[in-house]
Structure 1
Amino acid sequence: MRFPKILLIPVLTLLITACQTGYHLTNQGYSRVQVDSLAASADSGMARFLQPYNQQLGQTMNEVLVESAVPLNKARPESALNNLLADAMLQYGQQKLGQPVDCSHLNYGGIRTNLPQGPIRIGNIYEVMPFDNQLTLLTLKGSMLREFFEYFIGNQAEENALIVGGVRVTIKNNLLTSIEFTNGKTFDPNQNYTVLVSDYIANRGGGTAFLKDAVRRQDFPVTIRDVFIDYFRQLGKSGKPINPTTDGRITIQ
């Protein structure tokens, strides 16, 4: 016996539905499962395999770059750590990259921790800057540079702050009242200036969408973390502990 095609689909649907069991959620819960070296036994084979790599990594991370006479903490509106890191970028751009860098900027939220008093090791720099962000040099009109600085001044509640090298600025009511370049240039909203930043910021991370209209962009295959390591290693060659202080590059009236 053959069923008409027009009746076949409703019959199949009825058979499939009849064979299904209905389910509905009656309760839900969760429990935390901690997985660490205490909760799970070590794999001796894997430990032997990784041992030479761990040893080499430990030697690298424990290299002392410089001694600091004081703890170095990030803070707003200015701190010795903020200034050191921004100056490291500025110096690297001018000396190692050979670029005419007018100023530098570092994302406040990108500084993940502080640096200790005493020996500062490579491992400490990885903790400060765990990201692989690279250097980008932007050429901006003076009016956009002002907008760029004021963006970070006006977003303090979002873990932002203005961290700069190569300039001294005065702020009143979240607006810049003066910008002075340490290389002797005079600020002019119609002139072009170069600012060294992370590629995260250049890629409009954190809301800086207006940077798409930069006059020019140059990317360099060097991580900011390596810039910091190089800078602190150079400071350590003097054999003396560093004792940095703030220099008043950011004045709030």
Structure 2
Amino acid sequence: MNTKFLVLGLAILSLSSCRTPLNVAQIKPEKNISISKDLQEDQNFKNFIEPYKKEVEGKMNTKISHTSVELNKKGDNSNLGNLLADFTFEGADDWARKNGITTGVDAAVINIGGIRTTIGAGDILTKHIYEVMPFENEVMIVKMKGSDLKGLFEYYLKTQKNNPVSHLVIETDNGLIVNELINGQKVDANKDYYIATSDYLALGGDNMAFFGKGEIISTGIKLRDLFLEKFKANPEIVAPKDVRLNFKNKKVKTDE
């Protein structure tokens, strides 16, 4: 019987508490505690993480390739930008041919802002790729009609921005497009093209709204993982020197 009364009492208290106004507790400011180098280190914690720290540092400092020149992102045809665009093309092309797109991809577009730093001449370490590409972006393939690719070329005409491309040639002069090639050929308005890019750009990032007219195909490949794989596969990097973006009489200053 006592148990029944106890349960009933708790129920009544619960119901009444629902009708009780919420009281805001008084907040009193307390004195800040200064954190400085004089604070004693937790030796147990340090000992615990030390093996993991050494393992991570070892992996990050592993040599994966070499370059005899600085790989930078300056200018409209930066060697690092074009190199990473080529790597994006190659990775997407390989995936496409293994997954039912028998013709592979036709071109690649990446954004210069996604390349966060440069790589100096000398040994290329794993950590350098993480510094260049700190984001978890994925490689996407966008299927587009040739007629819809007009938006891509107009984007470069309007912005004259040095977003790197692969297997594309875009030339402008005094507000006009004077040359637009994909895989060395003029664009066929009735043909389907497959453009490799990042998920950020495929979804309209950096004002690339033209991708919205296409069909987005996910590859599941992380850009950084692809770059790591490509650098490892090329012990000596040969930086691209070809001209892909040619903005004659350019009035807009290149931002990188």
TM-score (normalizing by structure 1)? 0.75
> CA 1:217–1:47 in structure 2 vs 1: closer, same or farther (change >3 Å)?
same
Q: Is the 8 A contact 1:169 1:250 kept in 2?
A: yes
Do structure 1's residue 220 and structure 2's residue 224 form an aligned pair? no
The offset of 1:41, in angstroms, is 4.7
The offset of 1:78, in angstroms, is 0.8
Q: Which residue of 2 aligns with 1:95?
A: 94
Do structure 1's residue 59 and structure 2's residue 54 form an aligned pair? no
Q: Is the 8 A contact 1:66 1:232 kept in 2?
A: yes
Q: Which residue of 2 aligns with 1:176?
A: 177
Q: Which residue of 2 aligns with 1:45?
A: 44
State the Cα deviation string for residues 160-194 of structure 1 (Å, max 9, x = none). 42311112221223543222233x54312332211
Do structure 1's residue 68 and structure 2's residue 67 form an aligned pair? yes
Q: Which residue of 1 aligns with 2:28?
A: none
Map of 1:54-133 to 2, 5 A cutoff? 54-98=53-97, 99=101, 100-133=104-137
Q: Is the 8 A contact 2:146 2:191 kept in 1?
A: yes
The offset of 1:251, in angstroms, is 2.1
Unpaired runs of 5+ in structure 2?
Answer: 1-32, 249-256
**Counterpart of 1:76 in structure 2: which amino acid?**
G
**Counterpart of 1:204 in structure 2: which amino acid?**
G
CA distance in 1, matches of 2:154, 2:38: 49
Q: Which residue of 1 aligns with 2:247?
A: 252
Aligned length: 211
The offset of 1:101, in angstroms, is 0.4
**Counterpart of 1:206 in structure 2: which amino acid?**
D
> CA 1:84–1:139 in structure 2 vs 1: closer, same or farther (change >3 Å)?
same
Map of 1:142-221 to 2, 5 A cutoff? 142-155=146-159, 160-173=161-174, 175-182=176-183, 185-214=185-214, 216-221=215-220
The offset of 1:91, in angstroms, is 0.9
Which SS does the other structure have where 1:66 is aligned? strand
> CA 1:251–1:53 in structure 2 vs 1: closer, same or farther (change >3 Å)?
same
CA distance in 1, matches of 2:39, 2:151: 53
Unpaired runs of 5+ in structure 1?
Answer: 1-32
> CA 1:132–1:229 in structure 2 vs 1: closer, same or farther (change >3 Å)?
same
CA distance in 2, matches of 1:39, 1:164: 51
CA distance in 2, matches of 1:176, 1:35: 59
State the Cα deviation string for residues 84-131 of structure 1 (Å, max 9, x = none). 100001111122442510000111110100011100111000000000
Identity of aligned residues (%): 30
Q: Is the 8 A contact 1:150 1:174 kept in 2?
A: no
Which shifted more, 110-119 or 164-173? 164-173
The offset of 1:229, in angstroms, is 0.7
> CA 1:154–1:35 in structure 2 vs 1: closer, same or farther (change >3 Å)?
farther
**Counterpart of 1:48 in structure 2: which amino acid?**
N
Q: What is the alpha-carbon root mean square deviation over aligned residues?
A: 2.4
